[in-house]
Amino acid sequence: MRKGGLLAGIDECASLGEELYGLAAALFPICRSITGKGVRTTLDAIAKHAPLEISEVPSGTQVLDWTVPDEWNVREAYVADSTGRRIVDMADSNLHVVSYSVPVRARMPLGELSPHLHSLPEQPDLIPYRTSYYRRDWGFCISDTLRQSLREDTYEVVVDATLAPGTLTYGEHTKRGTDPSKGEVLLSAHVCHPSLANDNCSGLAVLAMLGRYLATRPTRHAYRLLFAPGTIGAITWLARNRENFGRITHGLVISNVGDGGGPTYKRSRRGDAPIDRAAAHVIGRSKLPAARVVDFSPYGYDERQFCSPGFDMPVGSLQRSQWGTFSQYHTSADDLDFIRPEHLAQSFRLIVSILDVLERDARYVNLAPYGEPQLGRRGLYGGSGDCPDFRMALLWVLNQSDGGHSLLDIAERAGLPFALVADAADALVDADLLRRCGD
């Protein structure tokens, strides 16, 4: 079958799933937070696939209603019992230390330590993920099984960290478009979570490889891939792009794209933006049993910021299982066994399919509208490699192309995949039977 547009050649990327998984696995062990060396190391790894322009924004900078916080770096964090045995050690999992813990070096009884311990009684073997970004505190995350085993003792508590003025780091990969009137597509993924595979090493890997993929293909839109810490990173980026955010004509926030659930598309605040229609079409035709489109809500990932009323950008969000709905969410079970190469590759293809709609959707005019043009004479009907759906797509495009219906309108009315309808339009243009409006 024909496959033009952004999907051209995607089936030849046989090792795509393994490459995506390999990058997610390389990012997994890095101790990330909203600032610090972990973010920079992560961006360095991503930049090997999609070159990045790095921004460093000083602590204390006012960004919209927020302030860029002090930079946090942690070297070591552990709790040892009175025999010197480390019962919790960040070296085993960087989830053990509450992100943004202030430095501590102290000895204390269990009663004093206990309020600083976080565990999940309902999931006693898992380590939770906790942060204390905007409240000066320290803490350790442990399994509830370990917590229940702790005895009265004098514990040595060490958080060897620095929380001091520095910078907040984010990275952007950009690609030029061929048609300036189409504006820019913003794709973003949060870069602040430590060792959590689905949330969001999966999103970072998919976005990095998308950058590499798009770089080799001509696109009408420009693309901006934003790798920024959640909330404060998006707010910082918006504060620094306040004058020209209007150039963004479509956007997608990408997270949790490595598990086998969903896919879940969450509409933009506008609800009827072209990205909303494009994603609903692709997700709806994905034939995946749990596929669903949900309405906007002012919670979730950075679509919250992009879709705040002052900006109201046409930005949706794509996930497989929706955050918070899977038992592994924000725990040590969101590990490299939870994500799979085939799910990552499938998510990648879904996103490329959505972008393909944005790239190729247009209105056309039938240049031979009096009766059906004779397609067989032009090699468009009955040839080898012909398929019934493609023939139907040709007829639908010819019939509906009066300048008033877009290819997406036609695909939806015909019940055919957009890519097939767009391929039919390309073939009809090549046969001089169709002209794109505006060309």
Angle between helices 37-47 and 203-215 (to 10 degrees): 40
Number of residues that bind Zn ion (CB under 5 A): 1
| 68 close to 232: Cβ distance less than 8 angstroms | yes
Q: Which is nearer to Zn ion, 199 or 423 (CB)?
A: 199
Residue 244 CA to residue 82 CA, distance in Å, equals 58
Question: In whole angstroms, how close is the CB of 334 to Zn ion at the nearest point?
Answer: 9
Q: Which is nearer to Zn ion, 199 or 359 (CB)?
A: 199
Tokens of 33: 């937070």
How distant, in Å, are the alpha carbons of 200, 376, 380, 390, 401 from that of 387? 40, 13, 11, 5, 21
Q: Which is nearer to Zn ion, 199 or 302 (CB)?
A: 199
Question: In whole angstroms, how close is the CB of 192 to Zn ion at the nearest point?
Answer: 8
| 144 close to 121: Cβ distance less than 8 angstroms | yes
Rg (CA), the chain: 25
How distant, in Å, are the alpha carbons of 3, 5, 312, 390, 409 from that of 424? 10, 12, 35, 7, 14
C-beta neighbour count of 242 within 10 angstroms: 12
Q: Is 276 in the site for Zn ion (CB under 5 A)?
A: no
Q: Is 303 in the site for Zn ion (CB under 5 A)?
A: no
Residue 188 CA to residue 56 CA, distance in Å, equals 18
Question: In whole angstroms, how close is the CB of 269 to Zn ion at the nearest point?
Answer: 21
Question: In whole angstroms, how close is the CB of 193 to Zn ion at the nearest point?
Answer: 5
Q: Which is nearer to Zn ion, 71 or 199 (CB)?
A: 199
Only segment of 16-24, 39-47, 199-207, 219-227 that touches Zn ion (CB under 5 A): 199-207
Question: In whole angstroms, how close is the CB of 321 to Zn ion at the nearest point?
Answer: 12
C-beta neighbour count of 91 within 10 angstroms: 10
CB under 8 Å to 72, separation ≥6 — which residues?
33, 34, 35, 36, 99, 100, 161, 162, 163
Question: In whole angstroms, how close is the CB of 330 to Zn ion at the nearest point?
Answer: 6
Q: Which is nearer to Zn ion, 144 or 199 (CB)?
A: 199
Only segment of 81-89, 140-148, 197-205, 278-286 that touches Zn ion (CB under 5 A): 197-205
Separation of CA 357 from chain center = 18
Q: Which is nearer to Zn ion, 69 or 300 (CB)?
A: 300
Terminal-to-terminal C-alpha distance of the chain = 27
Tokens of 221: 């839109």
Q: Is 199 in the site for Zn ion (CB under 5 A)?
A: yes
Question: In whole angstroms, how close is the CB of 13 to Zn ion at the nearest point?
Answer: 28
Q: Which is nearer to Zn ion, 30 or 393 (CB)?
A: 30
Question: In whole angstroms, how close is the CB of 324 to Zn ion at the nearest point?
Answer: 9
Kindly write down the DSSP assignment for every residue of 126-185, as one continuous string: PPB--B-TTS----EE--HHHHHH--S-EEEEEEEEEEES-EEEEEEEEE--S-GGG-EE
Only segment of 59-67, 93-101, 195-203, 381-389 that touches Zn ion (CB under 5 A): 195-203
Q: Which is nearer to Zn ion, 199 or 356 (CB)?
A: 199
Only segment of 192-200, 336-344, 401-409, 412-420 that touches Zn ion (CB under 5 A): 192-200
- x-or-dash string of contact with Zn ion, 348-387, rule CB under 5 A: ----------------------------------------
Q: Which is nearer to Zn ion, 95 or 421 (CB)?
A: 95
- x-or-dash string of contact with Zn ion, 143-182, rule CB under 5 A: ----------------------------------------
Question: In whole angstroms, how close is the CB of 289 to Zn ion at the nearest point?
Answer: 25
Q: Which residues bind Zn ion (CB under 5 A)?
A: 199
